[in-house]
A and B are shown apart, each in its own frame.
Chain A
Amino acid sequence: MGYRLKPKYFDDVLSALSKHYDIMAPALMPFETRHSAQEVVGYRKIESLKEIVVDKKTFFSPKEILFPPRETMFYFTDSKIRESEYEEKNKIILLRTCDLNGIERLKNMFLNNGDVKDNYFKRRFESTKFWLIECDDGFDSCFCASMNSNKADSYSTAIKFTEEDILVDSNDNMFSELFKSYGVEEDYKVSFIEKNKLEVKVPLSENINPAVFEHDIWQEYIKRCIACGRCNTSCISCSCFTTHDIIYDDNKRRGERRRVWAGCHLDNFSIMAGGHDYRTKNGERMRFKTMHKIYDYHKRFGKHMCVGCGRCDDVCPEYISFSKCINKLYDIIEKENDK
């Protein structure tokens, strides 16, 4: 059973919840990034409905809430090590289906790859509730349906923003109670996008052979890609990181080990001790990312890493389209296969 809420009552729900949760939603960021007088939609803490932006895709994904760009792992004083504390409030993240699936992809890496769990991700993930924003038509660069990530069920609450009201359906008792007291019952069930404007054909894993890695398709990106790394940083499923040790300026005996986002398109990602870098060309980096997103992750986890959110297309300053790259790859591979 769902509920229909008037905007002002939805605000009341948000304010009631804000005692226990930080509510993180797509909203205008308080800064301009690349260009002046250009609004940036991203994830931040919100307090009311009017702050939520649903008519634009976020430039950055909500992964930064669960996996911050920079995170202290532990502090040290001389040789004493102290784990970083976690004192943040529990969170509610309002996000779309692609991103919820993206977070599942992150979860695979941080919690299910190998026997050991990443406790920094875990402590954030376990104190977060996911509220799914129902998509209308999606955006021009979306291709979730092609990546089978247009549907999701691991959400606590589904929300539909209509012109007048807000429709909700929650699997969570606590939230349901709240919605009940602020809204009227209505038979609402979330519906999913079945088809995007953009269709991407993903080549079958079994058709990907070593020749594909050597194919000329990657040559193009040697020149086009400038290795700015925006495709990595905007991606919901990119989870790589690098650790750094910092000694504090004011006290040389103290410092911290922290991790920061890394990305296969950024320099220093594939560098070994002694300086050998095994992927220096930007075309090689494009290939590495592409294969990870639509081939080898799937071999390991049974699902494609790419969820088709299309952010990498939106943010690339060189107008490199990842969806187009996948389609080109598909054509090449299927042509080979036909022979």
Chain B
Amino acid sequence: MSINRKIITKNAYRITKERGKTALRVRVPGGHLPVRHFETIKLIADKYGNGSVHITTRQGFEIPDIDFKYIPEINKIIRPVLEDLELSIGVDIVELHKGYPAAGTRNIAACIGNRVCPFANYDTTDMAISIEKEVFPNHYHVKIACTGCPNDCIKAHSQDFGIIGMTEPQYDESRCISCQACVKNCKKKVTEALTFKNYSVVRDEKRCIGCGECAMKCPVGAMTRSSKKYFSVVIMGRTGKKNPRLAMPFMKWAEKDVVIQVIKNTYPFIDKYIDKSLVKEHVGYIVDRVGYKKFKDIVLDGIEFNDELEVAESINFGGYWYERNNCFEKPV
């Protein structure tokens, strides 16, 4: 059997452990899917696969147990999904009948966001779609996810770019009844950014993470949400076999356009610094190698910053190295 593995992989098909069998990965930007596409997924799984589908951690579908020979046929069947989820949002796909044009930059995942969740500070699916439009198709391996609030249900902290919704609490002192609901809650659940002074609420801007809890708790609408939506961006989190680590804060109080522009600028950064001798160097390891400062200079280049934006001066990435983690012993 002769197949071009690289072409197959870029077409969103996987080399599986079973020779001759592949699996198709269907991406769902923002993790929200019109249910009519289940018909297509079902059709492919029933006709070409084994009648089952795996729900991926990145909110896609992986249809396994497909013979390689059916790829061209399946690419035609998957077309309406591509048209609806990619083309219609502005993703540039020239040859729709040929299936997915890339698989490197992974599906942009999103928690359920403010369409449903009471905590979420923005429409995460909408944001994910906006990002998808800018970065897909792309062969560089980049993981991005959007989460509505610092609860981080989508695990933005294990992504290359984790986008976390923020709101800037607006305090109307004339409506405040000094009940301290916000203050007590912030102390208990968040960062103790709010204190009670002279029967009013004082917010420590350095401590505030813009989670919006205070606005949720206020029974009089004295503490409300900002009409502008902000984002904090955590970067270069990862799992893997060398140095797993949580993403670290890179920007806060960024506007949507700034976030998207930074992600876009990351691709030329990768292009310039990636070690092509390696199989596929992940962006986090590139940043480790060339340094945060270079990364920062390149991704922030040419961006029109919003006034509120703050960027990390330096980042001390943590995590652990498997090879250095040797203090194990047999239990006694």
Contact = CB atoms under 8 A, between A and B. Distances in A.
Interface of A: 29-37, 40, 42, 59-60, 64, 68-70, 228-230, 232-234, 242, 244, 246-249, 258, 260-262, 266-267
Given A33-B221, A33-B224, A37-B122, 19 more contacts: A31-B221, A31-B224, A33-B218, A33-B225, A34-B118, A35-B118, A36-B122, A36-B229, A42-B221, A69-B220, A70-B174, A70-B175, A70-B178, A258-B199, A260-B176, A261-B177, A261-B220, A266-B179, A266-B219
Nearest to B197: A249
A60 B175 CA distance: 12
Interface stretch (B103-111, B209-217, B291-299): B209-217
B114 interface: yes
A249 B198 contact: yes
Interface string B146-181: 000000000000000000010100100111111101
B175 A69 contact: yes
Nearest to B222: A69
B123 interface: yes
B227 interface: yes
Given A37-B123, A261-B177, A32 B220 contact: no
A42 B216 CA distance: 16
Given A32-B225, A36-B114, A246-B198, A70 B219 contact: no
Nearest to B216: A34
Interface residues of B, number: 33
A321 to B, nearest CB: 18
A233 B178 CA distance: 13
A245 to B, nearest CB: 9
Nearest to A245: B199
Contacts of B123: 37
B134 to A, nearest CB: 23
Contacts of B170: 31
Given A35-B118, A36-B114, A244 B178 contact: yes
Nearest to B122: A36
Contacts of B174: 68-70
A33 B177 CA distance: 15
A32 B227 CA distance: 7
A242 B181 CA distance: 16
